[in-house]
Every structure is written in C-alpha cells, then in structure tokens.
Amino acid sequence: MTRTLNCISPIDGSIFASRPVLPLEESRAAVASARAAQAAWAARPLAERIDLVRQGIAAVGAMNDDIVPELARMMGRPVRYGGEFGGFNERGSHMADIAADALADIVVGEDESFRRYIRRVPWGVVYVVAPWNYPYMTAINTVAPALIAGNAVMLKHATQTLLVGERLAEAFHSVGIPEDIFQNIFLDHETSDRLIQEKSFDFINFTGSVGGGQAMERAAAGTFVPVSTELGGKDPGYVMEDADIDAAVATLMDGALFNSGQCCCGIERIYVQQSRFDEFLEKAIAFANDLKLGNPLDPDTSMGPMAHARFAKVVRDQIDAAVAAGATAHIPIDPADDGGAYLGPQILTGVTHEMEVMREESFGPVVGIMPVKDDDEALRLMNDSRFGLTASLWTRDVDRAATIGDRIETGTVFLNRADYLDPGLCWTGCKDTGRGGGLSVIGYHNLTRPKSYHLKKVTS
C-alpha cells in the first residue's frame, strides 16, 4: 500500500496537500536518471549553467503572488511579510555572481617542465533535505550552487511545506534545466535511509533537527559520503552597557518572535548588562504586546500560528516548567491562543540555565532574559549550550565585540544585528548545531571535490 504524506495546515488543522511517497524501486530509478544525466550537465559551459539558474530564480519570483498565501496555509507565516523571495533571490544571485571565481582552477605553478593546478569538480548527485521553517531560502542555499557547480540535485522537502519542491522544480524546468538534473522527490524516512545506505548520493545536505541529522549520519555511516548538517540552535544575544537599547530591543525581539520564533538562528536567550536590564525588559515587553496573533491570511496579523500544534506544545511545556521553577512570565495569554497551534509571544525573567527553556531549543515565540554583571559572565552563559549557530552582540565598541566574538563557541558572530544570512559569509555552526558550511566561496568548496593535476611536459 502506497504511503501518503499529508501537509496539515496550522490555520485550521485541515489537510492542505497530500502526495504519495515514491516506492524504493522508483526512487532508485530516479537516482539512476540523475546520475546518467549529470556528466552532460557538468560539461555545459559554466556561464550557461549560471544563466539557467538565474532564470530559474526569476521564475520562482514570478510565482510569488501564489506562493505567499500557500506558505501561510502550509506553515502559518502571515501574508503581510510577503514571502521569502527577497532572501531567496539575494542568496541565489550572490552564488551565481561569485561562481566563476569560486570554481576557478587554483594554479600552483607552470614552468617548462610541469603544469600544476587544482580543479573543483562536482560530486555528482547531491541530495538536499530541506526544512519547513524557511522552505525556499534554506533550499536555495544548496540548490543554486550545487547546480551551478555541475551537480545533479535531488530535493526532498519537509512534509509541512509539501508543495515547495514542486514549485522549485516547475520554475527551474520551465527555463530549461533538465528534469533529470533537478528532481523533487517525495520519500518516507525508510526509503531515504535505504538510498543513503546504498550510496545513491555523492553528497548529502540536511537542514533540520539534531535527531534528523543523527539519523542521516547513521544512514551514511561507512559509505564515506559527506553529510553536511545545519541542526538546532539556542542563539544568544548579549546587550552591553553602551548599547543602543532601542535598536537592540527592536532587532533581538524581532529575531526572537518573527515567524513565531521558528528560525534556526532566532534569538532564544538574551543577556543584558545589569545596569540596562530594566530598560531593556520594559521595551521588550512593549514590543511583544504589540504583536497581533491571528489567521496568517489576514493582512493585519503580525504573528501566525506555529506550524503544528505539537511544536506549540513543546514551547508551552517549557514555559510552564520554567514558571513552576520560579520564572516570571510577563506577557498575558493572548485571546487568540487556542491551546493548539496558535500560541502568543512570551518573555521570561528569573530564568536559570537549569531550566529547559534556557538549555534546549524552543523553536517558538518565547525568550528568556537574564541580567549579567560583565563580559565574562555573559561569555560563560552564552557558551553554556550544546548548540553553536550564531550570537548577537550589542555595543558601540567594534574591537570589544571582536574580542568577545573570538571566545564565543558559535558559527557566526553578529554585531548590532541578528537573524540574517549574509551570502558572502559561510553559514556554519559547531557543537550539536552540526558541521559543514553553505553559501560563500566555502559553499562551493563543499559542493565540489578538489582534483589535482600534475602534468609533466615532454620536451624532447
């Protein structure tokens, strides 16, 4: 019996979309078609591949009026924010812009006897497993550079955003990217694991939970196929005594609560120098109280439901446990809070790192705020986490921030901003956040393998 994947809309709990999973033998055939087509794709001129990917990105943009309400129905983000095409286009276009330089041969030297260089060559078939929280932007991080580098790409999207892969495939195929080269596939976990175990893919990129990343690595164990992971986060903000408090509140609270807190690099804990704590807290509470929880299809809604009621339950349980242990909740329960997917924002003080809400990923609209006496205490608390994606520092002193940043166990350090992917920088993490790196020149290096040429010339 064929299994079906169902996208349950958080708006009303109804089934928004269903798709049958691909059986194992058909999945193997899809992989074989990608592998058979990849060499011809890689042989095309780089400029041609770049141009086709740019056209594919533009084709996605042309669908945006349909994509925005579709996203609201699938994962709850309010339509007022206009979807993801801005970031999608920025990331994909940047990777197209830098491709020629990033993929250029590294010339080691040439003389009358030898020519030596290192060439970046595509892995072959790249398997991209994308998440639901920013389904277009996270996918394009790998899809665009992988295709440009000459790989075939097989995209498996999260069930919660079931239609995103179809949209991407439709757009990219419409501009001439071969159907075998970019495939959207619907797989269950068992078939996905089996394909990985059989070395069907040459490179795997996974964005999702820590448990999901561990499952990917277990499936790939012993295959020597590289697995790049971007997993959980518990990203901190640190507000120093000389910070612009208004800017810090606006950015950190947006980073904590935008998309109902469902962001891998969202701000989940904030440390404020004790002399500025009360001021920061007062303004943070005002920010949270100004949000309007409701139906994401309503243009007045600024906070939609979480993507699934089970995700909201995790957050409610963390809040309840923290309050039971002595924390103070500052935001009244929103009238639109239905006990299910609709969950209003919350700010907690009186929290400690013994509480789960300050240790484990919440991935929801809650943030704990603690006073600290100095940089050393802030550093100790920021590093007291099994995750390491980003950290956001707030001070007018750039040198001080850089010095603190050198001591933070994280993939990215922000100063006076947060929750943003600069495609010119490597997007990476450490500890349980995973390993690997996307975007930037390093993203191309990870999506290709180095091949060395040591060519001896015959001179007589």
pLDDT digits (tens, 9 = 90+) for 290-323: 999 999 999 999 999 999 999 999 999 999 999 9
Q: Does pLDDT of 243 surpass 80?
A: yes
Listed in order, strand segments (DSSP E) in 171-323 are 182-184, 203-207, 227-230, 235-239, 267-273
Closest CA to 333 of 345, 348, 351: 345
3-state SS of 155-202? EEECHHHCCHHHHHHHHHHHCCCCCCCEEECCCCHHHHHHHHHCCCCC
pLDDT for 261 equals 98
Q: Does pLDDT of 280 surpass 60?
A: yes
Which CATH number does the domain 235-424 belong to among 1.10.760.10, 3.40.309.10, 3.40.190.10, 3.40.50.2030? 3.40.309.10
Average pLDDT score over the chain: 97
Where do you find CATH 3.40.309.10 in the chain?
A: 235-424
Which of 230, 268, 361, 426 does the annotation list as catalytic? 230
148-164 burial: b if 16+ Cβ within 10 Å, else e: bbbbbbbbbbbbbbbbb
What pLDDT, in 10s, does the model give residues 359-394? 999 999 999 999 999 999 999 999 999 999 999 999
If you average pLDDT over residues 336-343, what whole number do you get? 98
* 264 is known as an active-site residue: yes
Which of 7, 84, 263, 264 does the annotation list as catalytic? 264
User: Tokens 């501009």 sit at which residue?
Assistant: 175
What pLDDT, in 10s, does the model give residues 97-141? 999 999 999 999 999 999 999 999 999 999 999 999 999 999 999
Q: Does pLDDT of 2 surpass 80?
A: no
Domain 4-231+434-456 has CATH 3.90.650.10: no
pLDDT for 459 equals 83
If you average pLDDT over residues 167-172, what whole number do you get? 98
Please, are residues 120 and 71 in contact by the beta-carbon 8 Å criterion?
no
Q: Does pLDDT of 144 surpass 70?
A: yes
If you average pLDDT over residues 84-97, what whole number do you get? 98
pLDDT for 112 equals 93
Q: What proportion of the chain, given as a percentage, has pLDDT over 70?
A: 100
Kindly state the tokens that stand for 293.
């929880």
Report residue 149's pLDDT band, with 50, 70 and 90 as the boundaries: very high
Q: Does pLDDT of 260 surpass 70?
A: yes
Please, are residues 133 and 76 in contact by the beta-carbon 8 Å criterion?
no
Q: Does pLDDT of 1 surpass 70?
A: no
- Residue 16 neighbours by CB under 8 Å, 6+ apart: 7, 8, 9, 73, 74, 162
* Cα–Cα distances in angstroms (integers) from residue 194 to residues 28, 188, 201, in the given order: 10, 10, 11
Where do you find CATH 3.40.605.10 in the chain?
A: 4-231+434-456
